């Protein structure tokens, strides 16, 4: 028997995060012109929530050895820092969002990819492959935005809207999966 304690089958935090991300993604796509000016604070809140989720993931699996838990802690810390900055200085956030978004994508995707083996073991094949594909695409998109900042500057609201929708769906899939019900 594994010494890990059994978790409940439904992940409420992932569910709430997924619903928030889907709603924010839809709203961003519906109003892309005002997304950068009117919703910096909402993006900051999402970054804080995602950072807290990554930190909670670290706390849950800290007793396991390996690279994944530390990456979750680091990416969670960076997400919380970026989110707090956006909440406190929304005007500065407008100017540097084209740099923060790619870094946020990269940090979050690396965190999820580093924990793929646990997702496969606890949640099953479909959440594993969905998370794998989504986060590899996120790495590519984050890399493209770093290499060509104009991509980021001109398309941030649309890219963010689509990616938030996909992240929300990923969280909802994990919330409804059997994550944590196996030993």
- N-term to C-term CA, the chain: 7
Reference 101, options 167, 182, 157, 171; nearest CA is 157
Give the integer Cα–Cα distance in Å for 28 and 13.
22
Q: Given a cut of 50, is residue 183 above it in pLDDT?
A: no
pLDDT band at 87 (very low <50, low <70, confident <90, very high): confident
What is the structure's pLDDT at 171? 86
pLDDT in tens, 59-84: 877 666 566 677 888 888 988 998 89
The answer to whether the predicted template modeling score (pTM) of the entire model surpasses 0.85 is no
What is the structure's pLDDT at 9? 61
Average pLDDT, the chain: 80
Mean pLDDT, residues 132-150 taken together: 86
Reference 72, options 44, 32, 113; nearest CA is 113
Q: Do the beta carbons of residue 178 and residue 10 sit within 8 Å?
A: no
What is the structure's pLDDT at 133? 93
Mean pLDDT, residues 49-66 taken together: 78
Q: Given a cut of 70, is residue 88 above it in pLDDT?
A: yes
Mean pLDDT, residues 121-149 taken together: 87
């Amino acid at each position: 028997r594994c010494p890990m304690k059994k978790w409940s089958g439904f992940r409420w935090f992932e569910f709430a995060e997924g619903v928030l991300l889907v709603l924010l993604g839809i709203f961003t796509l519906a109003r892309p012109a005002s997304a950068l000016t009117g919703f910096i604070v909402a993006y900051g809140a999402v970054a804080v929530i995602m950072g807290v989720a990554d930190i909670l993931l670290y706390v849950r699996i800290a007793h396991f050895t390996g690279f994944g838990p530390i990456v979750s802690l680091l990416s969670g810390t960076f997400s919380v820092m970026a989110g707090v900055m956006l909440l406190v200085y929304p005007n500065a956030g407008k100017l540097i969002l084209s740099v923060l978004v790619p870094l946020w994508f990269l940090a979050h995707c690396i965190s999820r990819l580093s924990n793929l083996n646990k997702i496969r073991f606890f949640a099953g094949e479909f959440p594993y492959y969905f998370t794998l594909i989504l986060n590899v695409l996120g790495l590519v998109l984050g890399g493209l935005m770093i290499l060509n900042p104009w991509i980021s500057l001109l398309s941030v609201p649309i890219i963010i809207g689509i990616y938030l929708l996909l992240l929300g769906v990923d969280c909802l899939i994990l919330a409804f999966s059997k994550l944590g019900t196996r030993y």
